[in-house]
Structure 1
Amino acid sequence: MLNNIVKPTLLLNKARAIHNIETMISKAARSGVRFRPHFKTHQSAAIGDWFQERGVAAITVSSVDMARYFANHGWQDITIAFPVNVREIDKINALAKTITLNLLAESEESVHFLGSRLMHPAKLWIKIDTGYHRTGLSWDHGEKIAALAGTIAQEKRLTFQGLLTHSGHSYRARSQQQVREIYADTIAKMQATREGLRQAGFTGVEISIGDTPSCSIVENFSGVDEIRPGNFVFYDATQLAIGSCLVGQIAVAVACPVVAKHQERQELIIYGGAVHLSKDVLVQSFEPWGEKPTYGAIALPEGSGWGPILSNAYVAGISQEHGVVKVLQEDFDRINVGDLLMVIPVHSCLTAHLLRKYVTLEGEVLELANLS
């Protein structure tokens, strides 16, 4: 199968992905929490089937169009974990008519708009910021949160479901202990926010959390009602650096042809650049070069897939189509123009989004959603 690869190709180890899915399902079940995986990572109806076959019934997506795609493939309980875009109200109404739709808001304006324009029932979560500082109401702005919950309660087609957060700052952690500390801090803040709402008269308020590092490393999710990890289905070089996964759990790699060699720099040039791998970067230590930014880890082909990660090889530079790979002399000598290098993505979600299809190690081609 590898002999047929002529350009950057996203390989998928199906057995590893399914193992990752089953592991997270079991972990959620042990804690008695709802498992609502985020499908923005894989964006594939075929991979979605692997979840459904194992009893998963509720999912998360990142856009209205992605929700439509998965609704058209049989999913009936979908959360759009992105602040509601009021300009897409017609599509939102079409979805709310046919599925259980969960929306996300953090402003009075959005809630009032939904109240006046939504034609079918929907559940609404309030987005809470517990430290990531991307979006959401700050967890300690209790009066604002209670006021927004009250506004939601007044709208006849909206049901206030609870508080939702994404602790994306866990991706900056570089140890399991740091992730556990971020998780503990997040849960303490979310529970304090819920307690404030309880004192304001709101009962049955749920808590939803969703970052892959926390969901992979933490064992006990008591105190929350729902987990929404996404990246765990594939993992990547970042998750490996954090300690969220073992190398044997990484389920995707990009097969990239070697197109040139530069002896004076001990560098290989691959057909595989920013339009294939993204420009996400990870800083790691490589002997003998010290700490360096990398755009992907490197493995060699093995069987129909890839072997162990080379500890002192990395994608050192990237442009639109080119990747520059730094290697030790012994690796430089054994790799030839025309060979394949396997790049473990820094961020598998973006790499999948860019390449738009997977080739499993068995040779099956799985297309990503066409969201245009």
Structure 2
Amino acid sequence: MTDGLYIHIPFCHQICFYCDFNKVFFKNQPVDEYIDCLGEELRRMRGEGMFGSDGPLTIFLGGGTPTALEDRQLEKLFAYIDSAVPKGRLIEFSTEANPDELTPDKLAILWDNGVRRLSIGVQSFDAGLLERLGRTHSPNDAERVVRQARDTGFENISIDLMYGLPEQTMAQWEDTLDRALSLGLPHYSAYSLIVEPKTVFYNLMNKNLLPLPGEDLEADMFNLLMERMAHSGLRQYEISNFAKEGYESVHNKLYWQNRSYAGAGAGAHGYAGGVRYSNHGPLKKYMNAVLEGRRPVFEEHRVTAGEEMEEEMFLGLRMTEGVRFDMFRERFGRELEDVYGSQIRELTNQDLLTSDGESVRLTKKGIFLGNEVFQQFLG
């Protein structure tokens, strides 16, 4: 039985220039047929005992963009979820959304079908930067949809922000933080731009046509982010995530706590029974596998005990609470110090880690240099 369920909707009306997720343009795609295949995959997962009798703790609709679906397609998707996924344990039902796609009707459909958490991809409140990112919404769209979501009944609302963008200035970042925090939301996620292969930005960078802020300016933006969030009463519970008490993302914490989750849909990933797997990404390959009665899995890997301990460290250290000694002992039957004592001592001497005897966690300096810290725990 898995603790979480991720459902992938790979359709977008516009492909953002930085995105490397599994996605396709909505137009001329077999969207209804895909939803049928997704429903069949969920049905088989239940038959295989993937959800147990009481279902997962969390359900997360991601993409692509789930809100790219038409109203009737959303209703169809929820009907499949309702018939295949027990909800006896469910404590969080989330979806990603784009501001210019969330109509009052779609908000009502989400609410009526049990979704209670929205993760809205705002990215910036600067119109020029939004255009540079390939986004199709305006800053006003973002503010409007938050009002409409609240009118529908949604309280648990998060927005995504990005910094370190091409030609982004500190003044633009400050203005985005001002407008974001003025909404008074209980959760914010903020990520620095990472230029991934097979994206528009990657091609531009290779042609020296992507003027990015330097590392120092990006670090200053991150520092300002942490200061402003703390001043607004939002606790940094993970490197890139900030929340009021009781509003942390339960689903994402499953990932960082290295717990089990099922992945359904084209390109979805899962971790169950000690095996990490990923589904076929191309729609045709995914759908053909489902229609032929096969698992739509492209590859899988049985995680060794050593790999699982490594993952426990580099995932757990992303959270500000860090990795607990007692939880490590309970999970692996070994003392954390016996396995990683030398790395912990070295990183502590460099002021990158700290320990209070109950857990080991990143220092503020370590938060800035997280990837360098995580590397020390990889074989």
Shorter-normalised TM-score: what interval?
0.3 to 0.5
TM-score w.r.t. length of structure 1: 0.35
TM-score relative to the length of structure 2: 0.35
* The structure with more radius of gyration: 1
Structure number with higher helix proportion: 2
